[in-house]
Structure formats: structure tokens, C-alpha cells
Structure 1
Amino acid sequence: MPRNWAGTYTYRAPRIEAAETIDDVRRLVAAGGRVHALGTRHSFTDLPDTDGTLIDVTGIDPAFHLDVEDRAVTVGAGTRYGELALWLEERGWALGNLGSLPHINVGGATATGTHGSGDRNGVLSAAVRALRYVGADGDLHEVRRGDPDFPALAVGLGAFGILVSLTLDVQPTFRVRQDIYTGITWDAALAGYDELTSAGYSVSLFSLWEPGSIGYAWVKTRLDADDDPVPDTLLDGVRATGGESPLSDADNVTELAGVPGPWLQRLPHFRLDAEPSFGDEIQSEYFVDRADAAAALTAVRQLGDGIRPHLIVTELRTAAADELWLSPAYRRDVAIIHFTWHNHPDGVAAMLPPIEAALAPFHARPHWGKAHRFDRAAMQRVHPRLADARAVFERLDPDGRFVNDHLVRVGVREPR
């Protein structure tokens, strides 16, 4: 049976159909029954699954189109970010940010509020200017930024149709360097969290929840010139002069040690031409108000002894607020607490409830596509526009063609 990218979720759909054109998608939707979109399979739950037909959109032509005057690019929803980035760079253009894996497809990543890092950088969905989808009627529809339904659909979880293309904001190409800082203590990090996360254009902190040091700070600095200086210290940590990486091994990680390079080879952690991350893993992630970062991290630290036996690494990031109803950053700048777990299903399942209880006072929102224990009531408490988004999805899909068990469980769709 087909599995997700990490091999830790097996799809239960009785049929998977590979669409090669948008007309293929229309035909499959028009055939009747329940359907759902499938991209590069980077979700860790049954979010993209269905008891009907999964429609794999990754084989549809990217149909790249760059509008230089409007600073926008249109691309097929199944296209990987890394492929779009290569095409843009060849033409002197760039996206404002990328996720840690350039292997994820544009439609799936934006539909789930996936992100990179940076105090001033929104989640990837914030760059969406327009989206086109095949609706329950089998027709092609377009929604643009400023349209009434757009705030519900931009992070839409596949709950209303099959995304087939998107238009994204772009900007002129730029260069970035990456530096690793080590030896930062928890005391310094919690006291100076804003200074830490604002140290670069994009900053990620990697931790094993050890008592003394927070771990590594991975700072990505946007450059005006390749010889722009960077500090040798960050809080009570120091800049590493070698190419050591806090992730897996150096063979699949983008170049470190302060070597300048184009945005697409520095903003992701992992190289497009290599297997990403660790594989055979489970992921969880939670978003809290950035003002609560120190208190939230302090609460999770108390669980460190239980977390470590099952943990590969934790990554701490930030993102800027937006107005998208189901975005994890809806109307609040966020601190992001990510867990990459070993494939220990029972151990992870046992740790999620205490982690979520520790984060409950901070109204933490889980990543839609990663492992969590939130149900409809819990989602309603942390997503103030959940009912409004659900109403839009129900109006666009009154017969429940795109409903699945996961969407019902988390309150995004009504049961059928």
C-alpha cells in the first residue's frame, strides 16, 4: 500500500489516480464519489486520505508563468517548491521564503499553513495571491486575494476542492549565507528570545531539551554584498567556523560555514537533489503567540526527560501574523515548536497529551498536517474563525465530496 514520504502513514484510499492534466482532475471529480488531492505526501496523518479516490496532482505540467510587472508567478499545485525556485532563479526572481524541505509541493504546503522561519516572514500561504481549484461541480474555479472566500480557502486543507494551480508573490533574486552558533544556554535564550530569533532573515534553533544548552542556532543572513560581516557571538554562544550541521549529515544539507549563495540554496535546510531530513520519522508542531515563547518553552522543558528517548530533534522557528482564517499565524506573530520524532508510534502517542497540556495555557495551534491529538472542540478553542471557514467549505461542497474522517474529527467539515 502507498505510504507518506516518511513511510510512517499508510493511505487507506481504495483508489489512487494520477492526473496528468487539469482535465483529468475534472473528469475524476465529475465521476462522483468522495475525492481528495494528494501531493508529495508530506503529511503525517490521515488529513489527505479518503474512503474514495485520491487524485495525485504531482504529474500535472507546472505551466510556469512569470508576470514581471505584477511580481507574481503562477505554478501548478503539484509542483515542488525546489523546482519552482530553480525556474525563478534562472530568470532573476525569488520567493520570499522557503520551507526547510524544497521537496514539498506548493499546493499541499500552502493548504496546510506550512512555513519556513523569520520574524518578518509569513507562512508560505501568506504569499498566495490567487488559487484555482476543481470544485464539487467538476468545474474550474478561481479565488483571488481580496475576494470574500479567499481568507478561508488559502489554508483550505483540501476541504473544498482539488487545487490545480496557484499564483504567488515574487521578488528579485537575493543571496544568503548560513552560520551555526553553538553554546547558547537556555537562560540566555529565554531571556533574549527576541534578540535570538531576529539575528537573521531566517533563524532556526535546534534542541534536544538538554538541561544546559538550548543547542544550535542556525542563522540565515540576507546579504546586500557577499562580504557583509556577521557577528562572531550570539547571546552567550559563538559562531562555528566549520561546516558542522545540527541535522543528520552534511551530505544532504545546504552549504553552511558562512558561504554566500543564492536564496534557493540557503533558505531550505536540505538540498533538493538529496533525500531530506532523517526519514522513517513522525513530526508534530505547535504554534504559540511569540510573546509567550519563553513561558511556553519553559513549560515544555519540564517534559524533557520523557521527550528525549523518542526525539530526533526539536526545531524552534518564528513566523509573522496573517489574516488567513485557518493559518497557524492568524492574527498573531508566532513562535513555532517542532518535534521530529523517531518512528516510535506508541512513545509519540504517549508524549503528545502532556505536551499539549503544557501548551494549552498559550492556546497553541497544531500544524494541520502533523501528528497531534486535537479534536473539534480543541480546534475551536484555538482557531477563532474555524466555524466561519467550515461554513464556506459546506457552502462550496454541500454534498461532502471532499469530506474525510480527519476533517470531521478536527471540525473543518460536518459529518455525513
Structure 2
Amino acid sequence: MQPLRGTKDILPNEIIFWKHIYKKTSEILSLSNYFEIQTPIIESTSLFNRSIGNATDIVNKEMYNFLDQSKRNITLRPEGTASIARAFISNKLYLSNKTQRLWYLGPMFRYERPQSGRQRQFHQLGIECIGSINPMADTEVIRLANLLLLELGCHNHRIEINSIGNIEERSLYKEDLTKYLTKYKEDLDHDSKKRLTINPLRILDSKNKKTQYILTEAPLLENYLKSESRNHFNCICEYLNNLNIKYNINSKLVRGLDYYNYTAFEIKTDELGNQDTICGGGRYDKLIKQLGGPETPAVGWAIGIERLLLIIKNNIQIKQTSINIYIATQGIEAKKKIWDIIKILEQQKINFELDLHNSSLQKQIKRAYKSGAQICLILGEDEIAQKSLTLKWLNKNYQKTILNINLIKELQEIN
């Protein structure tokens, strides 16, 4: 049996990196008063249709949808923001009248062609700052993404930001962009031709060189922005300058989800080839109202964990927790008595491995050497008779026998 295509097992030697990411994230975000939240991996399909947008690739091609036994349309969540917005509404978090700072880490699902750093079950780490229209909120989330990546050992990254205005401004721009591109319809790449009538802004993201050449003379979104959009964006740029956080303004950056407005940003790296985006986010002031909640501004981002791991595994060293004590037993009575010893080790918070093979004491001690443990604790027939234990220091080839009653004192000295 093999795992399904686009899924993979996370083995013990890899889990240490996941734990490292979780620990660093919790430490950094808690300092800025962000709290962890977990939402279900299944949601009503309508949640994503209404939030992400019917014109997006995610909704049209990539969602895992199914009917449950009650004939309800269910979807494995393809991204985190819509679920957080739903949780904000259904749990009435808006009643507190305070800014909700939330973070999450969990699996998402999209039916895409699997490749390095992109699986059909993938994981995202994200934050959402809900309840503030202030450009300082946009700055806060960008600053935290930058800080977290640096702390995790991802140093060669760059921040790209843009203002995509509000819905009205984008509608006018879409109209003129479509008129311009229609003149070159036959020269556009296959995906851009389809997007021309469905989601023309996504054509700005095209990697096709010919399409990009056509776009050089296309109208620019920034020319459609009014003072409110411009002022919001200029404030963010000023704050980032004050923080000495480097960024580039990318006028073609629009992001692929319908709910964004004003700010859009991505963090990219040259270490991953074509899949160069490791973090993406922006502001979504209308989403919560669109889903049935009160009008509530918000801004956030998500980092792809699989892509992040491809970078940081080479940049950080994490040691596996070593075994302090390897336990070897000989005889039926020893196998009965050893559980009392194990209780003591647990009380003293000393990690151990109990040999579970029915083999000779000599073979158990050989395995103790291979395990990398500091000490082999031996409980054999002689020790049972004398109410004692033998402690063998494996890296020194030194051992001594102690009475059972002296074990705690001996362990405290070892610690």
C-alpha cells in the first residue's frame, strides 16, 4: 500500500522541524498578543464559493468536494482565512469589540499537480488580525511574517507589496484591462485566454513571457486608485521604511483570491525555483460581512510549511532528543519489578527506553550502546536478589551497583 498521490507521511526525523516551527511561532506571536485557533478541516462548500470566488482556480479546479450521508455539500478546506472568518462569526467573537489577533497551523487540501513543496494535502501557518482598518495592522502582520521567517532561518527572502484598491476601483480597472487585452487575445497563453472573461486580473500573474510583454503597455491599476486607497498604502510603506524592512512595490501583484482589497503582499525566495512564493496575504475588509457577519475589517497572511521546510532544513541544526537511560532486564522477576523503576524515572522527568526483546542481557547491552543512551540501567537476577540496580555509563565503560532506595539520589546527581 502506498500513500495517495499528493500526500506524504511525516516521519519522526522530520517531526522535529515541525515542532521547531510551532515552538518559534508560538513564542514570537504570543509576544504580540496573537492567540492560536483551530478550525475543522471540513466546512460547507458554500463557505469557499462565497469567500474565495467562483472565478478562481481553487473553486473551479482544486477543491475536494463531496456529499456526506445527509446529502450536504462538504469541502476539505483549501485555505485558512475563510474558516477563520466563519469561526469569528459563528462564535460571535465580534461581541468583545476588540481586535482579534489569531494564528493557526494545519492541513489544507487542493487538487493540484504534486511537485516539490506543493502537495495535495499541504500545511499552512497563518495569522489574521481582525477588527482594525488602521494601516498599522497591515504593517504589523507584514513585520511578523518577516520576523518569523528570519527567526526560522529563512534569510534570503524579499517582500513584494501592492495596493489593489477597493471593489469599485478594481471594477473600473478590470473593464479597461479587458478591453486592452482583448485586442491581443490570440497572442495570449492558454490560461490567460480563459481568464480574460472570468478573472482578467489573474493575467497579470502570468509567467508566460509573451503575455508579460503584451502587459508592458497595459493600463496600470495604481492609476485607478483614489485618495483613500493611496493614503492607506503610502502609510504602510512609510511604516515599513521606519522599521527598516526592505520591500519592492510590484504593480502586477494581485493575489488569487477574490476577497482581498487595498493591501496585497507576497514574500518570495530564489531558493525554490518556480515555486518561489512562501508567504502571501493581504487585507479583506468585506469578507466577514459577505459571510453574514458585521462589517469588520481584517488583514492576514499564510505561509506554506512544506516550502518553508525545504529552505530551513539546510539552514538550521536541530538535535534529536537523546535517550538518558536504556533499561535492560533479565528474568521474570526483573520484568515484574522494572515497572516500579520506570515510575521513578517518570517522576524525575528522565527519558528512557525499555528493551522489549526477549534476548540475553548481553545482547540488550549491545543495543544500549547503539541507542546512543548515556546510561544502561540493568536489572537482572543478581540485582533482584540484592535489592539493587546496576548503572553502566556507556561512554565511559564504567559501572556501579546501587541499592534501590538510593536510585532517586543517584538520578538527581546525574541530572
User: What TM-score, normalized to structure 2?
Assistant: 0.22
The structure number with the bigger radius of gyration is 2
Q: With the length of structure 1 as denominator, give the TM-score of the two structures.
A: 0.22
- Structure with the bigger percentage of helix: 2
Which structure ranks higher in relative contact order (CA pairs < 8 Å, sequence separation ≥ 6)?
Answer: 1
